[in-house]
Structure 1
Amino acid sequence: MPVLTVPTANLYYELRGSGPLVVLTGAPMDARSFDPLADLLATDYTVLTADPRAINRSSVEDRDQDSTPQQRADDLSRLIAYADAGPAVAFGSSGGAVSALALAEAHPEQVAAVIAHEPPIVGLLDDAARVHAETDEMCATYLAGDVLGAWRMFMDQANLQVPDELLEQWFGGEREPQAVADERFWFTHELRASTHWMPEIAVLRSRNVVIGLGEESGGQLCDRTCHRLGQELGVEPMVFPGDHTGFAEQPEAFAKILRDVLRELHH
């Protein structure tokens, strides 16, 4: 299993293809979520994917420590250096978009551009205090043992319409121990750190940043955060197929648009 040892963690990673380096990163989504998209891009690019620290095949020394965007950015920086094919275009989605933006702030020499797909930067919103309080309640509900209740709160906050029977199918009953461990780490040590992270707007204005937004994400929490970030950076969000997880659910259509963006960025 390909693993890179970094301070306090061992990171599982995959490299495929050849050409300019593209990083695909999520949080808490692991490398498997990007497999179909990575395979499609690998015909023209060197594609790096990895499991974030403490998720799935990536281990950490202390599972009681938070996973912050700054720390995940440092992990990505070390992976990019190890791949030795940079500078990279870093595509991140959700918490991974926050990681990629933090990477661009801290390591501009390694990042040609960032494509931040639906970053949940709650602090930019006018009602940030309310959303943060909801997140605290959600995490407390999970830690009290009400898994379905916590996920129901999450979907409501994100304005994602998911029927109860589907939530039960996804998160109820017998589940893989690794999926439960990853979920617990996310609710306990990752979700708050990701949604509380605030960009250094003046720094990001000097970076090459593309904001990605799903065409089916209208009215959702990340629709709001994308437009607020776009206003701050003077960038109009670019529309991608699908919704928050369009890259995984519609990889072929997603890859087509992403290729167009990558071509623009490399010219």
Structure 2
Amino acid sequence: MSDSSAARTVVTRTVGEGDDAITYDVHGDLAAATAERPALFLFGAPMDATGFQILAGHFGDRPVVTYDPRGAGRNPVGTADITVQQHADDLHRVIAALGVGAVDAFGTSGGGVNLLALIAAHPEDVRLAVVHEPPVAEFLPDRDAVLAVTADLKRTFADQGTGPALAKFIQFVMLDGAVPDGYLDGPAPDPAMFGLPTEDDGSRTDPLFRNMPAILSYVPEAEALRARGERLVIAAGVESGETMPARAARAVAAVVGIPAAEFPSNHGGFTEQPGFPSDPDGFAARLRDVLDPRA
């Protein structure tokens, strides 16, 4: 059962100016944060704050922060590539602006990669880091093939626009297992199969592809991660199978020398996914167990 967030005040703030402006939301009273139960920062990339409303509602006993990553949601729109280091700096700036010291952080997908970079650069920012299915290719046996697919997605976006690129992306993220030989030699999927536009509108602002290839090619700083000990949890969904982000989570955990934690459902199991199974209640309960093991 989720905690009701209906009565909680949500205050929207911005840190930075111009292209560096980052919008974030504070759910509840930051003054309620304590050393034992600090503010909880929930984020993804390119998923913006709207994707974390359900999960935030399960943590009414502590202040929760959500945000829109650079280039997404309510932030300035651009066309330039976005780096993991930029995201990590943005997270650092938001945490500093909160003024409550270290937070607990849950980062998923690209947000998980950005969280890996944040705790390497600013370990003092985070008490406990939960990194959920970070899609980094570095430690996978098919690393080169994954990065080749990423490069093809980037070229498709540049040459043909969002529809054809997103169709290829969907096909890739549905792949259960290592990238097979000759994967890129197959026919490109029809965007119309996924209800996507087939015509190029000329726009190149989509944050998903602006985050490529940086997110997938990021190399985690293993020694910095090992130094966190029990303050680092790397998680994969029990229903994610051998999809790339789940494989990557297990590979990063192995390099760090910790077991990968199992979380309910799949890559987006913390929120409602039309057409896909999810388990927001179970996911939130598992996250609470990790954050507050003595609760």
Confirm or deny a common fold (TM above 0.5). Answer: yes
Query: Residue 115 of structure 1: SS of its match in structure 2?
Result: strand
2:217 aligned with 1:217: no
Q: How does 1:11-90 map to 2 (within 5 A)?
A: 11-17=22-28, 18-19=32-33, 20-41=38-59, 43-59=60-76, 63-90=78-105
2:248 aligned with 1:248: no
Q: Which residue of 2 aligns with 1:185?
A: 207
Q: Which residue of 1 aligns with 2:130?
A: 115
Contact 1:159 1:219 in 2 (8 A): no
2:143 aligned with 1:128: yes
Identical positions, percent: 36
CA distance in 1, matches of 2:135, 2:65: 23
Letter in 2 for 1:202: E
> How big is the shift at 1:168?
2.8
2:286 aligned with 1:257: yes
Letter in 2 for 1:131: V
**Alpha carbons of 1:209 and 1:164: their partners in 2 closer, same or farther (altered >3 Å)?**
farther
List runs of 5+ in structure 1 lacking aligned partners. Answer: none
Which of the numbers 214, 218, 221 marks the counterpart of 1:197? 218
Query: Residue 246 of structure 1: SS of its match in structure 2?
Result: coil
Letter in 2 for 1:25: F
> How big is the shift at 1:10?
0.8
Query: Residue 239 of structure 1: SS of its match in structure 2?
Result: strand
Letter in 2 for 1:211: I
**Alpha carbons of 1:147 and 1:82: their partners in 2 closer, same or farther (altered >3 Å)?**
closer
- Number of positions where the alignment pairs a residue of Structure 1 with one of Structure 2: 255
Please give the per-residue CA displacement for 1:77-109, whole angstroms capped at 9, x wherever unaligned.
Answer: 111111122311111000000111111001111
Contact 2:237 2:262 in 1 (8 A): yes
CA distance in 2, matches of 1:228, 1:83: 33
> How big is the shift at 1:209?
1.2
CA distance in 1, matches of 2:175, 2:99: 39
Query: Residue 216 of structure 1: SS of its match in structure 2?
Result: coil
> How big is the shift at 1:164?
7.3
Q: Which has the higher helix share?
A: 1
Larger Rg, first or second structure (1 or 2): 2
CA RMSD of aligned residues (A): 2.5
CA distance in 1, matches of 2:143, 2:226: 22
CA distance in 1, matches of 2:258, 2:192: 36
Q: TM-score, normalised by structure 1?
A: 0.87
Contact 1:119 1:222 in 2 (8 A): yes
Query: Residue 3 of structure 1: SS of its match in structure 2?
Result: strand
Q: TM-score, normalised by structure 2?
A: 0.79
> How big is the shift at 1:7?
7.9
Letter in 2 for 1:28: P
**Alpha carbons of 1:210 and 1:6: their partners in 2 closer, same or farther (altered >3 Å)?**
farther
Q: Which residue of 2 aligns with 1:96?
A: 111
List runs of 5+ in structure 2 lacking aligned partners. Answer: 1-11, 177-188, 273-278
CA distance in 1, matches of 2:49, 2:193: 23
Runs ≥4 residues deviating over 4 A: 163-167
> How big is the shift at 1:22?
0.9
Which of the numbers 187, 190, 194 marks the counterpart of 1:168? 194
Letter in 2 for 1:247: F
**Alpha carbons of 1:166 and 1:48: their partners in 2 closer, same or farther (altered >3 Å)?**
farther
Q: How does 1:150-161 map to 2 (within 5 A)?
A: 150-160=165-175
Query: Residue 23 of structure 2: SS of its match in structure 1?
Result: strand
